Amino acid sequence: MDAVTLPLILVLLLVLGAEFVNGWTDSPNAIATVISTRALSPGKAVAMASILNMVGVVFSGTAVATTIGKGIVDPKVLDLISIAGAVTGLIFWSTLTARWGIPTSESHALVAGLAGAGLASGGFDVLLWSGWQKVLLGLLFSSVIGMGGGLVIMTGIYWAFRKAPPTKARGWFRYLQVFSSAFMAYSHGSNDGQKFMGVFAMALVLGGVLPSFQIPFWVILLCAGVMALGTVTGGWRIIKTMGYKVTKLDTSQGFAAEMGAASTIELASRLGIPLSTTHTISTSIMGVGAVRRFSAVRWGVTGQLVTAWILTFPICGAISYVLVKLLRAVA
């Protein structure tokens, strides 16, 4: 094992910075609906999300981390400069969009950054189709299955509680939504937290600290803790967009959206599929709103979200590509 060097320390700090940004800008998606329906106060919701994000990272295994660390780009062409370029693009883009209150996908930002770094290092041949298949599957999960899950669960709730007094039903779902929000926070950690564990471990291998790719338990704990710290900061502009601007939600609708999204994310995590938790909860909210009536969804707002999602791939990939080329030129 080689000695820990300054370049390695700087890259590891950048990876942790990306994990912090992920907790700050992505975790609010897990609690936006529970805050908007007032099932929980903002302070309690953030505290719960911070804890369960960390629990999700620690106890969810490493299947997604392995996909990110070994399956997106051929590890042989990567070095510490590549990792630095990949996560810098993510930090820049996610911070910028968060200032506008637009939730973007750190998952897509990360794989786009890795792709940009890989292209700068070895061209298209270094991209691994096996890993990109899982990324494409993640797009299917987050869009079709996410929306379908919210729609089906909401339809079932309307049918099951069609004879129940509205005030009584709202009272039940006030408590049920606390559970669904907790499940959503846990599932976010189980998928998103793993991605940065994979990049962190990859940097340790490239820096000579680890002899081969593996996820030490201390890396799991470190990434979990940093994500929890990021979550504590709140991400209030994103909470406002997700909880209030896409569609108006009551407690039953918030429950349906969270259960649909969290179930989809958990299934993907078990299959080692990296998906966007942002996309998943967003489309689930859209599905829930569309059950009430199609016009209940503010499609102008969703159009802005989709535009940001589409731009994530080229922007983060380009930032990573250019940065890697520049750093190699001066290194």
3-state secondary structure of 313: helix
pTM: 0.84
Q: Name the band, by pLDDT with cuts 50, 70 and 90, for residue 219.
A: very high
- What percent of the chain has pLDDT above 70? 94
Q: Give domain limits for the chain.
A: 6-330
Say which amino acid occupies 51: I
Is the pLDDT at 1 greater than 60, yes or no? no
Kind and range of the H or E run holding 76: none
Q: Of 110 and 231, which is predicted with more confidence?
A: 110
Q: Indicate if the alpha-carbon torsion angle 163, 165, 171, 177 is positive or negative.
A: positive
**What distance in Å separates the CA atoms of residue 231 and residue 167, rounded to the nearest whole number?**
33
235: left (phi over 0), alpha (psi -120 to 50) or beta: left
Q: Residue 61 contacts by C-beta under 8 Å, 6 or more apart in sequence?
A: 194, 269, 270
Q: Of 131 and 292, which is predicted with more confidence?
A: 131
Q: Name the average pLDDT for the chain.
A: 85
Query: What is 178-209 written as a DSSP string?
Result: HHHHHHHHHHHIIIIIHHHHHHHHHHHHHTTS
Q: Residue 190 contacts by C-beta under 8 Å, 6 or more apart in sequence?
A: 56, 57, 59, 60, 64, 265, 266, 269
| pLDDT of amino acid 275 | 85
Q: Residue 298 contacts by C-beta under 8 Å, 6 or more apart in sequence?
A: 245, 246, 247
| pLDDT of amino acid 80 | 94
**What distance in Å separates the CA atoms of residue 218 and residue 291, rounded to the nearest whole number?**
45
Tens of pLDDT, residues 226-273: 888 887 776 667 777 666 666 777 888 889 999 999 999 999 888 888
Tens of pLDDT, residues 180-196: 989 988 888 888 777 88
Is the pLDDT at 160 greater than 70, yes or no? yes
**What distance in Å separates the CA atoms of residue 36 and residue 30, rounded to the nearest whole number?**
12
Q: Name the band, by pLDDT with cuts 50, 70 and 90, for residue 172.
A: confident
